């Protein structure tokens, strides 16, 4: 099945990216004060971590689905 193979590849890539970059940061801009046309804004950065167990699980599940897709194609 082509769908299982593609999903497996996508999950494996996500797992590899999660293992390669376990921490990423998002930035949010908030309005602090507003006086007429004057806007005072603050940028707030929030770090997010991806647990290695989740990344490894995605990689393993992707490998299993890739294997199932290949076996199903040949069988």
- The secondary element (H helix, E strand) that includes residue 48 is strand 38-49
- Cα within 13 Å of Cα(67), Cβ side: 6
What is the value of pTM for the model shown? 0.73
Q: pLDDT tens, 40-54?
A: 999 999 999 999 999
Residues of the chain with pLDDT under 70: 1, 75
* Distance of alpha carbon 46 from the chain centroid: 16
Domain boundaries, the chain: 2-74
Q: Which of 67, 75, 74 lies closest to 5 in space, CA to CA?
A: 67
- Provide the token pair at 25: 């940061």
* Distance of alpha carbon 44 from the chain centroid: 21
**CB 8: neighbour CB atoms within 10 A?**
20
């Amino acid at each position: 099945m082509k769908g299982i193979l593609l999903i497996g590849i996508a999950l494996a890539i996500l797992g590899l990216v999660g293992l390669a970059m376990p921490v990423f940061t998002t930035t949010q801009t908030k309005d602090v004060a507003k006086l007429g046309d004057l806007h005072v804004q603050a940028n707030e950065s929030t770090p997010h971590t991806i647990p290695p167990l989740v990344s490894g699980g995605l990689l393993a599940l992707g490998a299993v689905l890739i294997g199932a897709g290949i076996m199903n194609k040949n069988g």
